[in-house]
A and B are shown apart, each in its own frame.
Chain A
Amino acid sequence: MPITKKPAADFPMRGADAIGIREVGFWSVLIVAIAFWANIVRGTGPAELPGVDSMAAGVLENGAFDVFAWILVFARAARMFEAGPASWRRISATFLVGVIALAPVRLAAGVAFVILGGSLLWDRRALAAGRQVGLVLLALAFETVWTSRFLAQPHLLAGQGDAKITAFLLGLLHTEAASHANIVDNLSANFSISVWPYCASSFPLAGVGLAFLVMLLYLDQAPRRRHLVWLGMSFIGSFLLTEVRLVLLATSQASYFWWHNGPGVSIYAVAALALAVVFPILATWETGTAGTPPGDRLVA
């Protein structure tokens, strides 16, 4: 006997004055996006409103892939649902995420992303674009939590491991070095660095995951289990890049300033960006060759 799934009661709006579900979906994305970016660009000075420079710096510091992710979200926001009137449940959910995102804490936006993203994945009326937006919002929520101050302590612990690895790598380069807690002492150069939570190898991993997902979606690929291997390789690549950066930072004070505040920052950012792009492309390339044989090839 076939099992039929009883549709959940959606209580759609009736009448000519009913608002469309596509419009409500777009409003929900717009509300959480503005709350998210307002939190990022707001000023931290005691008296003045944020200037254009600090706003731009806030956006750039947040990472290029957050910008790409939101471009992708808005490119799909108008076609997340099939046409029709919005349900009261969808309208209530939009107001709920809007009220949660009012809290002036970045984590509030993360909670709003989880509710909105989860509801998009779960909604029967959501189209493929809606489910993609849902996935991206969940990845943004994970990144928001992962990089929050609440998880600074675990990143600090990861930084202790990074300090040990950096000292070990410096030793391989015939540089006398030691580590204690989060400190790497370059004894040869009489110089030391401290690995902060934001510099630990664990810190960028959520961003790497988001970048991987966004690239997959830009390449019109649905996330699949076999992509997990490539995602794991992205994580390993990010980890290795962080360790190389820490070794360069700990080499000498001049090297520290070059890699921490000088042109080295851009070089590191480009290398991280390249890694984030390469692995999803390799993942989709593998999918393409295995899944869709060329027209002139026969399958035995």
Chain B
Amino acid sequence: MKTLLRCGFVALIVLSVAIQLTHGRRGSADSDPLAALAAGLERLNVRTGRPAAGDILTGHAPSCQQPLQAMLLRIDGADDGRMRGLRPDGGAARYIYLGAVTEQPNRAVILGRWVEASVLFTVGLRATRPQSLLVLVVLPRACPDLAALEWATLSPAD
């Protein structure tokens, strides 16, 4: 009986370690978010080149001769200084985070969405851990029709 109980305790420990390590490998954020952003732009039929300084992607849509710019920013605003690398005459901005597209970066709303998604991930109701990066796209003023594209796909809700 004593040996049986000890075997039971050891089995619990081994099982516990195995489950924890397996869960850790469950789908989380993309390993290269910038590559994922470039792939997302390609899906919107926007051709992108190599990222410029400050990891700013420049892309061209077929319907517009002016380039657009896209970059990833931390949602806590810690690297907002990188926005200085954007064109000074930049046009309309679109902030995209977890399926929502806004013209202004409302940090409180974004943080609230991150908290909500994190809780859902923790309880298993969301497949992926929410990223702490939002997508900023600057559209050229000359091409207002670009605003109609499905920008939400660059940071999907799920």
Contacts and interface: CB of A to CB of B under 8 A. Distances in A.
A and B interact physically: yes
Interface of A: 13, 15, 17-19, 24, 27, 30-31, 34-35, 38-39, 42-50, 91, 94-95, 98-99, 101-105, 107, 148-150, 152-153, 156, 180-183, 192-194, 196-197, 253, 256, 260
Interface in B1-43: 1-2, 5-6, 8-9, 12-13, 15-17, 19-25, 27-28, 31
A48 to B, nearest CB: 8
Among A104, A148, A193, chain B packs the most CB atoms within 10 A around the CB of A104
If over half of B's interface residues share one DSSP class (helix, strand or loop), that class is named, otherwise mixed; here it is: helix
A148 B8 CA distance: 30
A91 B5 contact: yes
B25 A47 contact: yes
B84 to A, nearest CB: 11
If over half of A's interface residues share one DSSP class (helix, strand or loop), that class is named, otherwise mixed; here it is: mixed
B107 A194 contact: yes
A182 B107 contact: yes
B13 A42 contact: no
Contact of B1 (A18, A94, A183): A18
B13 A31 contact: yes
B115 interface: yes
A42 B23 contact: yes
B108 interface: yes
Contacts of A102: 12, 15-16, 19
Contacts of A197: 115
A31 B9 contact: yes
Contacts of B81: 253
Nearest to A198: B76
